[in-house]
Structure 1
Amino acid sequence: MITIFNRKNVYTGNDMGQFSNIRRTLADHRIRYTYHIRNQMGQWTGRGTLRGRTGSAGQLNTPQETYEVYVHKKDYEEAVHLIQTSK
């Protein structure tokens, strides 16, 4: 089981394609992973979310999501090697 205490980050970025490729690579090699997707517009800023208060007016057409992929510490080196060689 991967927990906050025994995991290491192998990817943090805004590219959904790269995020998907990393997940596929890890799954193909049977390396367990967990992921987290953060949406910047969904963050709570006092009363309601940023998007709820302002809508999307004035927002740049850039990715709003940040993707993070974590593996167990014991699988970290193998996962990094597989990710680098799969590019």
Structure 2
Amino acid sequence: MIMILNQKEVFVGAALKRFNEVRDILSVNGINYKYRVVDNASPSLLGASRRARTGTFGEKMEHSKTYYIYVHKDDYDKANYLLRK
């Protein structure tokens, strides 16, 4: 089971295609993972972000999300090796 104290980040990026490729590689090789997606275009709950004040005009929407993938720390070396091929 992957929990916050035993997880390591193997991917962070804005490209949905690469995010899905990484997930596929991990799945095919039997490595459990967790992921989270942060929407950079939505306003913060704690107050207005820069985007909430200025909008997103002229910004590429494919870069509006940041994707994170985490694996168990015991699987980190194997996952890192597979993703570097």
Report the TM-score, using the length of structure 2 for normalisation: 0.83
Which of structure 1's runs of 4+ aligned residues deviate more than 6 A?
Answer: none
* SS of 1:5 mapped into structure 2: helix
Residue 43 of structure 1: how far off its partner (Å): 3.6
* Cα separation, partners in 2 of 1:60 and 1:84, compared to 1, 3 Å: same
Tell me the C-alpha RMSD between the 2 structures.
2.0
Q: Which residue does the alignment assign to 1:46?
A: 47
Gapped regions of structure 1 (runs ≥ 5): none
User: Identity over aligned residues, as a percent?
Assistant: 33
Gapped regions of structure 2 (runs ≥ 5): none
* Cα separation, partners in 2 of 1:18 and 1:47, compared to 1, 3 Å: closer
Q: Distance in 2 between matches of 1:47 and 1:65?
A: 18
Report the TM-score, using the length of structure 1 for normalisation: 0.82
Count of residue correspondences: 82
